[in-house]
Amino acid sequence: MTHTPAEATSIGRAHRELFDAGLAVRRDVLGDDYVDAALRAAAGSDGEPLQQYVSETVWGSVWTRPGLERRERSLMTLAMLVTLNQPRELTAHVRAGLRNGLTRKEIVEAVVHATAYAGIPAGVAAMRVVQEALVAELGPLDRPESPAAAGRPGGAGMPLPGRTVGLIGLGAMGSPIARNFLAAGQPLVVRDADLAAQGRFVRDNPDAVGAEDTAAFTECDVVVLVLPNSDIVDNVVLSEGGLLSHLRPGSVIVDMGSSVPARTRRLAEAAARRGVAVVDAPVSGGVARAAKADLAVMVGGDGTAVEGVQPLLEATGSRIIRVGPVGSGHAAKALNNLLAANGLVAAAEALVVGRKFGIDAATLLSVINAGSGRNQATETKYENFVLSRTFDSGFAAVLMRKDIGIALDLARDMDVATPLGQTLGRIWNSAVEELAPSADQTEVVRHLEELAGVLLETGSGESSDVSG
């Protein structure tokens, strides 16, 4: 059938409207980060038309139909993903289902229901993925009430009673940290450069008030920063009309991001001239532990200032470690990540060699974790994010490169030779240059697999050659 030009234009407009509507629903359900990553991965490739089709048809045509609420569609989607054995999609839709109003019990029941049709092996594999996602979002099912929970409205009280607290930076780590503060009963003034993300956070958390600009923090006694790097921190705090120009003497800035220690000290000196204290309190543990208020917090700063904000830090961290004067926390965080990155790469080298020899990667990983070679990467990252091929630990490779660089710069400033660190830095730089800008830290293993010509797939016990 041939369409007239007017009909073709009308049909094209209808497709575009469905695509736009579907993309908006897709973003609202799955989150901007997840959708943007999918679109970027397909851009300019053979998969791009499929991404357009999914947004237009699945999300635009189906999810916008009347008759079923989003929570009902979420349950149906979860059941379908169990039968299709799609762990990465299943993880994303567990998070989406919780946002759409599903309860933990309803999600688990959807998996049980689907298992009756998909079979026990598929159900067991799906339940493992679902449990990990639920624990990351909600904490363990049998977890006793945490100190943070005891401080919820109606509980024993808030961390900093009588003090006004602000938070700037609602990204992957900032959002769960902010939710922990709110769960502990501490109202917040919040700000993010992404106003849409800020709006969603305020909508979902009634005790949070959105700020139009840094002037909105004038009445704050404590302002927490969860920002990507020192450049952004300095711009937010020290620029003309920035945060420091609005804070009153006696206020405290708490930098929970990964900043350069020397620049943190310079920031503290500038703040001190206005009577404002700076505490650096970077964290370790990733998004999953942040969601459970189970972070390790490394704290640097004046003793009085640290003591004044410690109850707030305890609302998001299970271990608060005082490291030393201001800047010490950021130094400790960078050095910790240097070691963590070394563990990830060293394990990759061992597993790749074993794979080429013909040892199943999961089997060799079990040997390592039962022996003296184990480290945090082998015990958590490899099974959950590498061998599963999900590569979604929640921490970007480019951010780890930044932390490695901070640690190596610190070593040079201290006139300490770091031959292993320098080699790691070169490996990590090469990997980041080859990977997508949004790549997870665990995707560095992909780069090492490509260099070796194998994949760390499991099950066959034989080398999987990718050299072509």
Residues carrying an active site annotation: 333
Separation of alpha carbons 42 and 386, rounded Å? 21
Backbone angles phi, psi at 379, to 5 degrees: -80, -20
The residues facing 208 across adjacent strands are: 188
Structure tokens at 435: 């990977």
The residues facing 317 across adjacent strands are: 295
Check if the beta carbon of residue 308 is closer than 8 Å to that of residue 279. no
Name residue 252's amino acid.
V
Q: CA 105: distance to chain centroid?
A: 25
307 CB-near residues (< 8 Å, 6+ apart):
none
SS3 458: coil
From the list 109, 110, 26, the residue with the least C-alpha distance to 76 is 110
Q: In Å, what is the CA distance from 379 to each residue of 22, 157, 168, 289, 397?
A: 39, 37, 33, 15, 19
Around Cβ 447, how many Cβ atoms within 10 Å?
Answer: 21
Q: What is the DSSP string of 75-106?
A: HHHHHHHHHHT-HHHHHHHHHHHHHTT--HHH
